[in-house]
Amino acid sequence: MKDLSNSKRKEQAINAFTVEPVEATRIRDAAAKIVAGQPTAEELSRLTFTKLRDVRIHTQELHNQFARLLNRGSSLE
């Protein structure tokens, strides 16, 4: 009995602060659920295609700008 009361005292000394568990909150907003979810394959392919097109356009613009810089001093321009 004495050992049991000593162990309780030690446990109380160690656990001086009480820990209250936090419950997970569920998302009730439909728009927030859509944002929090994984994108579908269709959404990913649309996004990838759009980004790829933007990269191609930007690459072509840089290519044209570089060509203009190269031709700046030549007699072609």
* Residue pLDDT, tens place only, 11-46: 666 656 666 777 776 666 666 666 667 878 888 898
* Structural domains in the chain (count): 1
* pLDDT at res. 64: 94
Cβ atoms of residues 36 and 27 within 8 Å = yes
Structure tokens at 22: 């936090």
Higher pLDDT: 69 or 21? It is: 69
Domain presence at residue 6:
no
Domain assignment present for 28: no
Is there a domain that residue 63 lies in? Answer: yes
Range of the domain at 72: 39-77
Residue whose entry in the numeric block shows the structure tokens 């009361």 = 5
Q: Which residue has the higher pLDDT, 49 or 8?
A: 49
Separation of alpha carbons 68 and 62, rounded Å: 10
Rounded Cα distance between 30 and 12, Å, is 45
Q: For position 58, what pLDDT does the model report?
A: 95
The answer to whether residue 10 scores a pLDDT higher than 90 is no
Whether residue 52 lies inside any domain: the answer is yes
Q: Locate 64 and state its tokens.
A: 């044209």
